[in-house]
Structure 1
Amino acid sequence: MSLASAARLVIARRALLLALAASAALGGCQSAQLTAQGLSPVPPKTAISQDIALGYAEVRAPAELVMDYKTGRVLYELNPDGLRYPASLTKMMTLFLLFDAVDSGKISLDDTMLVSPNAAAQAPSKLGLKPGSRVRVSDLAHGIATKSANDAAMVVAENLGGSKEGFANLMMTKARQIGMTRTSFVNPNGLPDPRQISTARDMATLARALRASHPRFTSFYAMTGYAYEGKAYRSTNHLLGTVQGVDGMKTGFIRDSGFNLVASAERRGQRVIVVVIGGKTGRERDAEVTRLVDTYLGPAESISTVAALPASNT
């Protein structure tokens, strides 16, 4: 590592320490966890472990977790609290805050948001939004959930938070409220930043809280495809429509994270959240998620048996 690179890493780690210290102080007043009955308070965190503060996330290291959706009980785990780069799994939090704003009446799905030059300049994957244009909130949500569009995520961040940094503060407040204790968010889309870290446990916590808090929006991350301005996009979650019971939620990839996927799946009345981080390839990641779904929900039903079952309302 060059001297300049080492200096940048030290600066990034110091910035992370300050940011997490501030968020911990705020989260100590507002922390809560999701239970079968809803959100209930949990004891505040009074200290930040050194590994989080310094941002020691492992590169392309595996981490997995299977959580029972109804109870929150962990059914299986592999390195559940090891620090990892969430990549586009981050966008679940961006959608969470967007749906919060819609449900609170601050905005509607038919409102539009302004695209800044900064948002338009985000690296792919993106919708190719034009600076100065206005995009409907529903299109932004679909673009984030289905296409994993980095430009759409930044539009939401800047319009709701005033800036990327302002939105990151909102993300951290929400993270602590729902019980995410080992996560640091600094951008809304998961593009590479050494300070943007999380764990398999925190990602499962986020997915469960998102689904429980906004059940009427589950269709956004369950769609197999989406069209915007005449162009069709296939969902980045290739298990949708191919693995029985999988009905969300989000994929992610950057070089240092490997291939990530958080999946929600339901079979025979039982629902689980499955998290796989650090897959070597997208195909390997998908196969591992499928294996875990089959293991903890039982094998998929035959076509004839599925046809005879009543439709699920979850």
Structure 2
Amino acid sequence: MARTVTALGRWVRYGLFAISMIFAPILAQAAPYAALVMDMRTGEVLYSKNADTRLHPASLTKMMTLYITFQAIERGEISLDTKVTVSANAASQPPSRLGLKPGQKIAVRYLIRAAAIKSANDAASALGDAISGNESNFAARMNRTAKALGMRNTSFRNANGLTRAGHLSTARDMTLLGRRLFYDFPQYYNIFSRKTADAGIAQVANTNRRFLSAYEGADGIKTGYTSAAGFNLTASAKRGNKRIIATVFGGTSTAQRNAKMAELLDLGFGRAPNRVKERAPEAPQLLAEAAAPQQGSAKTIRLVRAPKSSPRPLPRPGVATHDADAIALALAAAQADAAAQKLAEAVVADVTVQPEAVAAAAGLAASPRPMARPGTIVAAAPPAVVTEVEAVELAEATLAPEPSPEPNGFIQSTEPQPETLTLAAAVLEDESMAEGDAVPNDPIFARTSVPQPETLAMAAGAPPSRAQNVILAALTPPAPAPRQKQQVVARASSSGGRGHGISLGLFASNFAAERALLTTALMESDTLGDALRKVATRKTGYEANFVGMSRDTAELACARLAARATDCTVIGP
């Protein structure tokens, strides 16, 4: 009986041995071997074996999860300090785990450390859910990103790499992804070389710490293991001027995988040239990505890229299109409004114009406007804010070429007609003028006859036929017609006690004298009041005078001008 049992046991052992020999090749195919070695600096492949065979990547998948996380931080979708609410999906993932609980809040930086260093499945899933709302949305983003990076044989189904039907990649694609992490996000790359790190709720140790400690120059990147995948590793190392990256799929143990990786990296350092021109990969062309905040509500993040063309939109039905002239006038009107606002605070009225002349100068048809009362005066804000430099510039811009002197040496300055409007800083779009609002009756510095449309256009710095905006402050009087021998300034002899004036001295030209008078009028409007400007021709030059003043006013004006270092002399009747 004993012999029978012994014989039976022997046959059983033989049978089991035979079965193991038969099925050993089949079992070995569960995690086939694949490898690729690349020069990180140029992307040149130095060695490959089954490099395009689609295999289970295991936790090498987390390289893509981290790549997208770094990308989301760069775009502002999330930040390192964003508090992620852990989803039930993330908390239910099997080991390796950080130990997250549903509803728990944890910062993105800690999830990155746990996923990169400890290879925590719950941390990787929490990142995916926080960025895209759920696992399927994040997997879709992973696949779009993989396509943009040139990973042609990769398809993802989850954020952590746990075995799932269709979740496959290749040694070549994972090597490309590792190189992308190095070049696209160098600011985060050092995390892959840390042997330990604080993950917020725990201190975590690197799953690749043995290889990092054993191989000279090693600084990353990621390990992976499942029963279907075997022991995988994507590693990089730098020695001297050389940097090599390699990937191994299907290792039989941690020790065997690390030994094989050391062999592959040694091969790469041996084959790579010492000096080579570095060729970083081109930036990926990502058209659009779906992303979501930690609450789970999806949103769309679109990259800003220059369009190939920008066609002009069609007009709305029933709305007339604008021609180039109308558009130009609209733009000019907006610019004129801003300029007139500033100028109106500094300039007082010096011109009398007809409304039709203003409209003609702008190249527009005159619009109906209430007629002003005879003698109505439009003045700007008090001119005390005008600086000397501004006054000089304004005088130079508004004075016309020097006219011929009068036979008696005076420049004519006539009274305005009752039907004219006196404008300080006229802009066609001025709302108060369009509505016919009342304006204060402030002093006038000088009066001139009605300018022609051409003069208005010149003042606006535009051709007479198409002035786009008109800013009127003080315009040049027209060339005077021949007069009688005795020509006096209006109101000078009938002002009653106003027979005095002030002289600013002699000037080389009539233009210089006019400019001095206008500049002084703008600077000292409070003192000069309604004094009139007059240029007298002398044998030695042109004398600039203000007349029609009382003695006290003339003396006060001279004192104020002297304080401004301006020459001034009181002149009597």
Give the shorter-chain TM-score range: 0.7 to 0.9
For the residue of structure 2 that corresponds to 1:297, the secondary structure is helix
- Cα distance in 1 for partners of 2:199, 2:205 equals 11
Question: What residue number does 1:138 align with?
Answer: 109
- Cα distance in 2 for partners of 1:117, 1:177 equals 31
Question: What residue number does 2:37 align with?
Answer: 66
Give the 5 Å matches for 1:85-100: 85-100=56-71
- Cα distance in 2 for partners of 1:231, 1:142 equals 11
Give the 5 Å matches for 1:152-301: 152-229=123-200, 231-237=202-208, 238-298=210-270
- Cα distance in 2 for partners of 1:162, 1:227 equals 26
- Cα distance in 2 for partners of 1:195, 1:131 equals 28
Residue 98 of structure 2 contacts residue 202 of structure 2 at CA under 8 Å; is this kept in 1? Answer: no
Residue 59 of structure 1 contacts residue 84 of structure 1 at CA under 8 Å; is this kept in 2? Answer: no
1:254-282 Cα distance to aligned partner (Å, 9 max, x none) = 10110000001111111111101100111
For the residue of structure 2 that corresponds to 1:65, the secondary structure is strand
Give the 5 Å matches for 1:4-83: 59-83=30-54
For the residue of structure 2 that corresponds to 1:241, the secondary structure is helix
- Cα distance in 1 for partners of 2:215, 2:201 equals 28
For the residue of structure 2 that corresponds to 1:156, the secondary structure is helix
For the residue of structure 2 that corresponds to 1:90, the secondary structure is helix
Paired letter, 2:99: G
1:24-82 Cα distance to aligned partner (Å, 9 max, x none) = xxxxxxxxxxxxxxxxxxxxxxxxxxxxxxxxxx6200000001111111000011011
Alignment TM-score, normalising by the size of structure 2: 0.41
For the pair 1:119 / 2:90, whether they are aligned, the reply is yes
- Cα distance in 1 for partners of 2:59, 2:201 equals 25
Displacement of 1:233 after TM fit?
2.2
1:158-188 Cα distance to aligned partner (Å, 9 max, x none) = 1111110000010000000010000110100
For the residue of structure 2 that corresponds to 1:292, the secondary structure is helix
Residue 168 of structure 1 contacts residue 185 of structure 1 at CA under 8 Å; is this kept in 2? Answer: yes
- Cα distance in 1 for partners of 2:103, 2:225 equals 29
Residue 100 of structure 2 is aligned with which of 124, 129, 132?
Answer: 129
Question: What residue number does 1:47 align with?
Answer: none
For the residue of structure 2 that corresponds to 1:215, the secondary structure is coil
Greater alpha carbon shift after TM alignment, 255-264 vs 236-245: 236-245
Higher share of residues assigned helix: 1
Displacement of 1:117 after TM fit?
1.4
For the residue of structure 2 that corresponds to 1:239, the secondary structure is helix
Residue 36 of structure 2 contacts residue 172 of structure 2 at CA under 8 Å; is this kept in 1? Answer: yes
Displacement of 1:220 after TM fit?
1.5
Paired letter, 1:91: K
1:105-144 Cα distance to aligned partner (Å, 9 max, x none) = 2221111111011111100001001111111111000000
- Cα distance in 1 for partners of 2:96, 2:259 equals 23
Specify every segment of 5 or more residues in structure 1 that has no aligned partner in the other structure, as ranges.
1-57, 299-314
- Cα distance in 1 for partners of 2:81, 2:185 equals 18
Residue 226 of structure 1 contacts residue 234 of structure 1 at CA under 8 Å; is this kept in 2? Answer: yes
For the residue of structure 1 that corresponds to 2:158, the secondary structure is coil
1:196-235 Cα distance to aligned partner (Å, 9 max, x none) = 0011011111111121110000121111112334633220
Displacement of 1:194 after TM fit?
2.1
For the residue of structure 2 that corresponds to 1:286, the secondary structure is helix
Same amino acid, percent of matched pairs: 43
- Cα distance in 2 for partners of 1:59, 1:188 equals 22
Paired letter, 1:114: T
- Cα distance in 2 for partners of 1:114, 1:225 equals 24
For the residue of structure 1 that corresponds to 2:187, the secondary structure is helix
- Cα distance in 1 for partners of 2:94, 2:201 equals 21
Residue 149 of structure 2 contacts residue 177 of structure 2 at CA under 8 Å; is this kept in 1? Answer: yes
Residue 65 of structure 1 contacts residue 274 of structure 1 at CA under 8 Å; is this kept in 2? Answer: yes
- Cα distance in 1 for partners of 2:102, 2:133 equals 16
1:225-256 Cα distance to aligned partner (Å, 9 max, x none) = 12334633220112123211110110000101
- Cα distance in 1 for partners of 2:52, 2:269 equals 24
Residue 39 of structure 2 contacts residue 268 of structure 2 at CA under 8 Å; is this kept in 1? Answer: no
Displacement of 1:291 after TM fit?
1.3
- Cα distance in 2 for partners of 1:288, 1:93 equals 24
